[in-house]
Chain A
């Protein structure tokens, strides 16, 4: 038998794991750094650095088509966020009281958009809308986004609901509150952080979506990612990077806020 080799704390450091972790973190972030960095390039050719400039930001922000795309994106994301949060809050509460079989069915329906490849979901929705003669455009995109935002909105709300102490309901009922009062005065305030976190996640999922929007855009429904895709296809300038940087910034800020809200007071 060999003698014990000390505390074993050294095992916390498998050789090479630290450096390999650093490499993977680099792999995750360096590509984004290049996107952001080249957005300040004054050269027309993205990857040939000429000098620092903000002209591409001025360029894209003053472009009418881009402004329209931004408005479309914001409209789609706001409405689908509100709708998906309403549905998700109902589902979170309903799931608690569902029988086992119902819960299984409901849960697979909710998670389906995460498991089905997005392209299939996109063309399926396209086929549905064409079949029922629903016009393509921002409204069609909004309806589709609402569906796949539901699971993202649901998970933080559900996590919050599960942590609620059931005794507070009992206490409220004992004190004579009816169901509606309990919902408005107790359930909703308790769920609020989960609802806000879920809403923020739903918002960026919708804002960043490309494939579903691309197929449902029709003539007037160009969203920002669909517009950026067109730019990449046509001619890549640092303008693409400038727009991408702005979109990245919005995503990172929103997910950070959501993260902070969801972790608070847990």
Chain B
């Protein structure tokens, strides 16, 4: 036996097999994050590309104050408003995804096993297609002479087309569409592990279907709901394409403002400071997630991620 236990390690490789990968991730994931934090405390470069290596907290002041040419500072809620809107859009997106996901997740989980795999695969396919194209699809659909307006006009319900594109509504629809699979999959993962005989027992004991759903099934899939909420909220918060292509500049989110600082506005330190704020919000969301979820749903979120693949 003792001999066997030393042999059990044979051929399984060693921890250093992971070193090249870890070194690469330090260089291309950790280093960019560190650079962002450093840049957020530096001065704006003369021509706007890059930074001037002079320490300042000016970028963080710019988050709250506008400076006039004479150097006078006045409170300016523009960026706070954009942060607030982004968080709000992301929360609305997560809630809408939740409402859409619970029925389909439970429905899939109650199908025969051989069907489930296929149905889950059908849910994941859109995730693996280009986000740009999925967002573009709604440019077509919500267009003034797109299929929705066409159908409504054809049926005589409306005379003039309704402007849907380039509105907050369009942005929200785009966000929901982008991240819906992230909500369906973890809820499904929880529902699949749930023993539906428990629900049947409650039903046999006289509970109505609604009561069974509310008191037995929904609490059982809560880890999936929590995981789904975070998996939708975080990427939605950093969304660039939906507000850019569907919001038409009227509904800027943080990512669009950050992109502008590295593009036309040429203020890298400020863009870096905005990014740091995004990271702070993401971390707060993750901490809140961990507190609410404790252990069970953390496992749920990882499983949901693995079920994607």
Q: Measuring CB to CB, which residues of chain A are less than 8 angstroms from any residue of chain B?
A: 1-2, 4-5, 7-9, 11-18, 20-21, 24-25, 27-29, 31-32, 34-35, 38, 45-48, 86-88, 90-91, 93-99, 102, 106, 109-110, 112-121, 123-128, 130-131, 143-144, 146-148, 150, 152, 155-156, 159, 166, 169-170, 172-174, 177, 179, 182-183, 186-187, 197, 201, 204, 208, 210-211, 215, 225, 228-229, 232, 236, 240-241, 244, 247-248, 251-252, 254-255, 259, 262-263
B interface, how many residues as a size bin?
Answer: 35 or more
Question: Number of residue pairs across A and B with beta carbons under 8 Å?
Answer: 311
Whether A232 contacts B139 by the Cβ 8 Å rule is yes
For residue B237, which residues in chain A have a CB less than 8 angstroms away from its CB? 117
How many Å from the CB of A136 to the closest CB on chain B?
11
A34's partner among B110, B125, B147 (CB-CB below 8 A) is B147
Beta-carbon contact of A87 and B20 below 8 Å = yes
CB distance from B231 to the nearest CB of A (A): 9
Contact B137 A17 (CB under 8 A): no
Q: What are 8 sample pairs from A and B whose C-beta atoms fall under 8 A apart?
A: A47-B146, A94-B15, A97-B14, A97-B17, A120-B278, A124-B36, A147-B29, A166-B12
Which are the 10 A-B pairs with shortest beta-carbon distances?
A: A117-B238, A94-B18, A124-B32, A8-B200, A182-B11, A173-B10, A31-B137, A87-B21, A169-B11, A20-B103
Which A residues are CB-close (under 8 A) to B147? 34, 47
- 8 Å CB contact of A173 from B7, B136, B140, B212: B7
Q: Is B35 an interface residue (CB 8 A)?
A: yes
**A99 CA to B18 CA in the complex, in Å?**
12
Instruction: Given A8-B200, A11-B199, A128-B31, check contact A123 B36 (CB 8 Å).
Output: yes
Secondary structure of the A side of the interface? helix
Within 8 A of A (CB), among B128-156: 128-134, 136-141, 143, 145-147, 150
Q: Which residue of B lies closest to A245 (CB)?
A: B133
> How many Å lie between the Cα of A48 and that of B153 in the bound state?
14
